[in-house]
Structure 1
Amino acid sequence: MIMVLLIVLYLSAPALSKLCNQDKQVLLQIKKELGNPTKLSSWLPTTDYCDTIWEGVACVTDSNNQTCRVDILYLSHLNLPKPYPIPPSIGNLPYLNYLYLIDTNFFGAIPSSIANLTNLNYLNITYTNVSGTIPDFLSHIKTLVSIDFSYNNLSGNLPASLSSLPNLGEMIFTGNRISGAIPDSFGSFSEELILMRLSRNRLTGKIPATLAKLNLRFLDLSRNMLEGDASVLFGSEKDTVQINLGKNNLAFDLGKVEFSEILAILDLRHNRIYGTLPQGLTALKHLTKLNVSNNNLCGEIPQGGNLQRIKVNSYAHNKCLCGSPLPACTLVN
């Protein structure tokens, strides 16, 4: 039986070879555009990228089971001898579903050829030196589920057109130099969007009231220069698990805010938030991390729930916040 299987595999090998050559020249061109890095030494013209191991390449068979096409391109830690731009040839991989370019010294703008990847679901360009603006052409790739551009040198404004992506579930732009206001259109994202991380940028202005329409599970706008009312981001009807607004210039009455019942992490430190801590915080069974330090809060910390388990420094440096775990409130006659 084993011998029969070996014969079948041997006879089918030439056919598989033909089926797995559709994207070979594109991959070899990508390798060339990167200066033939050592880590891609497995990319050889004499082998097939689907039935041998090519570093960072995985394949999928088309719907007719006729050809193998590149489905995943994962290029990380390439240790290029000098900075290179992202290879424009990547846009010639029409079946690409996952594109990961990680921790490599790419430079320059994100190439417009990526707009040709009309089947792309996951776009991850992180820890590189790419610069320029977040490209508006991303709005044309309607299949996108996740965009992660964290820790690059991107600048300019957030493209308002991103909200037209019908399937986008994750948007991560942490650690860039993005400036300007959050577009009003960001309140028009579909219900698929559950994660938005825009922290460690240079965003300014007020948080748009339109964001009240979003039901985000994870939101991080920390370490920007946002100001004004952020209460639109909260609500008892939402499914928020984590919200981080720390180190901005936000100012609103926290005492009037209602929270998601599954909220686990709330970080509001270093703002100008005023009012009292809401009694509703005591009902949050999943709340494990809370930081409201360095604000203008006043009054007694509500007793109950997990609030007394929170570290003292998470309540520190407020106007007149008191009560366990802080010192007791002083009675005024």
Structure 2
Amino acid sequence: MASTATTSFLAVLLLVAASAATPAMSCAPSDLHALLSMKQSLGNPATLSTWTASSPNCCAWDHLRCDDAGRVNNVFIDGASDVRGQIPSSVAGLSELMSLSLFRLPGLTGAIPPCLTALSKLQFLTISHTGVSGPIPESLAKLRSLDSVDLSNNKLSGRIPASFADLPNLRSLDLQRNQLTGPIPAGLVQGQFRSLILSYNQLSGPIPRDDAQDEINTVDLSHNKLTGDPSHLFAPGRPIGKVDLSWNYLDFDLSKLVFPPDMTYLDLSHNHIRGTVPVSLERLSTLQKLDLSYNNLCGPLPKGHGVIKHGCKPYAHNQCRHGTPLAGCQDLS
């Protein structure tokens, strides 16, 4: 009898242990259906081999995460050459999704679907290094919780939606290496951004003026067709660290510009910038990268260490048109 009781007790312990090892909550049926539909739309790739109806607890699948309630809140599919097709409309069924990352998927094509606006809790959106094309939907601005948007290295065309400037929580916007045209929307270069990267497009017109005392740290608008005077980007009090405005058509007087003291990166090369190298450059002790080459700068260089420590290369190929040619460093040409 004792032996039978002991056996029964051990059996109970094993059953409890097995129950504890099994997740108490499977994912929601709506999430399961949406994920399986997504897999089918993407060509049933081997990359998503764990996404199967025979394993109904989708919270245990690869390329996603669930919250404590068992709802899918993070989907990340990256580096997969076997993913093919358009962004599935069924992604809209993941109503608790906070982060969607589709990265390095060359077989992903078509437009960004308007159904993404159903993801009202989405904070982080990445569609990058894909074959996705067409315009950026204005409707994305309905996602008021967006904190970071990365649509870089795609084939997107058309204009940047003006409504992006109205997103109250957007801190980072990366649209580099697309085929975007038109002006930068008014209000986009303003308070809420910490990082704004629009490089390697075909954007034109002036950089919108905004004198807000904001948190912006990184601005990269290089390799576009921008014109005018961007001096307002360096307004006193802005904690800006990196500015790359190279390879544009900017035309302004650099002489009296006062740079923020904590800058670490400044590239204004390949523009039509005139005037002299400002004395304020001497005080940039944290500056690691400087390039003012291929402009129309004139006059002597300031003698301070903050200027000469970068050597001669940052000042090379300046064609002074009115005044004394740039001098003070050897081999400037």
TM-score scaled by length of structure 1: 0.89
**Which structure 2 residue ranges, 5 or more long, are not aligned?**
1-9
User: In structure 2, what is the equivalent of residue 218 of structure 1?
Assistant: 218
**Which structure 1 residue ranges, 5 or more long, are not aligned?**
63-67, 328-333
Q: Distance in 2 between matches of 1:4 and 1:279?
A: 80
Conserved? CA contact 1:284–1:305, under 8 Å: no
Gap change, CA 1:184 and 1:281, over 3 Å in 2: same
Give the CA deviation at 1:21: 4.6
User: In structure 2, what is the equivalent of residue 331 of structure 1?
Assistant: none
User: In structure 2, what is the equivalent of residue 203 of structure 1?
Assistant: 203
Deviations 1:8-66 (A, max 9, x none): 442356672545555111111100001100111111212144553x221111123xxxx
Give the CA deviation at 1:216: 1.8
Give the CA deviation at 1:132: 1.0
Which structure's CA Rg is the greater one?
2
Size of the alignment, in residue pairs?
Answer: 317
User: In structure 1, what is the equivalent of residue 329 of structure 2?
Assistant: 324
Q: Distance in 1 between matches of 2:307 and 2:330?
A: 8
Listed as ranges, the matches of 1:1-333 within 5 Å are 7-12=15-20, 16-19=24-27, 21-50=29-58, 52=60, 54-62=61-69, 68-80=70-82, 83-104=84-105, 105-187=107-189, 189=190, 191-210=191-210, 215-318=215-318, 319=320, 320-324=325-329
Gap change, CA 1:272 and 1:11, over 3 Å in 2: same
Conserved? CA contact 2:27–2:72, under 8 Å: no
After the TM superposition, which of the residue ranges 112-121 and 205-214 deviates more from structure 2? 205-214
Gap change, CA 1:3 and 1:240, over 3 Å in 2: farther
Gap change, CA 1:133 and 1:211, over 3 Å in 2: farther
Partner of 2:115, secondary structure, is helix
**2:81 is matched by which residue type in structure 1?**
N
Conserved? CA contact 2:26–2:57, under 8 Å: no
Give the CA deviation at 1:199: 0.4
Conserved? CA contact 1:170–1:194, under 8 Å: yes
TM-score scaled by length of structure 2: 0.89
Gap change, CA 1:306 and 1:22, over 3 Å in 2: same
Q: Distance in 1 between matches of 2:261 and 2:12?
A: 61
Partner of 2:219, secondary structure, is strand
Conserved? CA contact 1:133–1:154, under 8 Å: yes
Gap change, CA 1:3 and 1:252, over 3 Å in 2: farther
Conserved? CA contact 2:211–2:235, under 8 Å: no
Q: Distance in 2 between matches of 1:121 and 1:295?
A: 41
After the TM superposition, which of the residue ranges 5-14 and 101-110 deviates more from structure 2? 5-14
Q: Distance in 2 between matches of 1:325 and 1:207?
A: 34
Conserved? CA contact 1:110–1:131, under 8 Å: yes
**1:150 is matched by which residue type in structure 2?**
S
Conserved? CA contact 2:165–2:185, under 8 Å: no
Q: Distance in 2 between matches of 1:5 and 1:269?
A: 72
Partner of 2:188, secondary structure, is helix
Q: Distance in 1 between matches of 2:212 and 2:246?
A: 19
Q: Distance in 2 between matches of 1:19 and 1:39?
A: 20
Give the CA deviation at 1:226: 0.6
**2:88 is matched by which residue type in structure 1?**
P
RMSD: 2.2
Q: Distance in 2 between matches of 1:170 and 1:5?
A: 51
**2:231 is matched by which residue type in structure 1?**
S
Partner of 1:178, secondary structure, is strand
Partner of 1:23, secondary structure, is helix
